[in-house]
Amino acid sequence: MLDIQLICVGKLKERYYIEAADEYIKRLGAYCRISVVEVAETPLGKNPSDAEIAAALDQEYRRMKLPARSAVIALCIEGEKVDSREFSEKIADFASRGMSQLTFIIGGSNGLSAELKRRADLRLSMSDMTFPHHLARVMLLEQLYRAFTILQGGKYHK
């Protein structure tokens, strides 16, 4: 059974996001061991410079405790775009290469540090559109659930 960890910058506050995330975490329990780690977003002033944003993103990255033997998948706008079936194939590919732990990282409102993106084994983009990072968490959990049902031949994905 795969171990999947989501490292998310920022804490879910809205009840509807919390309930949706909890539902997919519950469903995923049949397919994998899943955990979610929230890392505090580094506060910035009103009009931060690019250097201040980069420094804040580096601080967030340093607070993340990436498991040593985990494949790291960073969600970022410049990442690869895949459909749900291709996403399930990527998960299966990691597993077939003996990677039993996958760590997905969702940044805060300013994204992810350049160093983290370089460190990632895979960079994925959800879309060319912009989504709130809290919604991205729910979307990722749903896509993970969909990927596992695809791999198991379930009927959830049509």
pLDDT tens track for 116-157: 999 999 999 999 888 888 999 999 999 999 999 999 988 877
pTM of the model: 0.94
Question: Token match 């300013």: residue?
Answer: 110
Q: What percent of the chain has pLDDT over 70?
A: 99
**What is the per-residue pLDDT for 133?**
86
Distance CA 74, CA 72 (A): 6
Confidence label for 158 from pLDDT (cuts 50, 70 and 90): low
Residue 68: pLDDT over 90: no
Query: Domain map of the chain by residue range?
Result: 2-151
Categorise residue 106: left if φ over 0, alpha if ψ from -120 to 50, beta otherwise: beta
Laid out side by side, the sheet with 2-9 consists of 32-39, 2-9, 101-106, 71-81, 122-125
Tokens, residue 57: 């993103």
Q: Who wins on pLDDT, 100 or 24?
A: 24
**What is the per-residue pLDDT for 154?**
82
2-151: CATH architecture: 3-Layer(aba) Sandwich (3.40)
DSSP bridge partners of 33: 3
Residue 35: pLDDT over 90: yes
Instruction: Report, as an integer, the average pLDDT of 62-87.
Output: 94
**What is the per-residue pLDDT for 132?**
87
Pairing mode of beta strands 122-125, 71-81: parallel
Distance CA 31, CA 24 (A): 11
Tokens, residue 62: 């340093």
77 CB-contact burial (10 Å; exposed 0-12 / middle 13-18 / buried 19+): middle
**What is the per-residue pLDDT for 5?**
97
Q: What is the mean pLDDT of the chain?
A: 94
**What is the per-residue pLDDT for 129?**
87
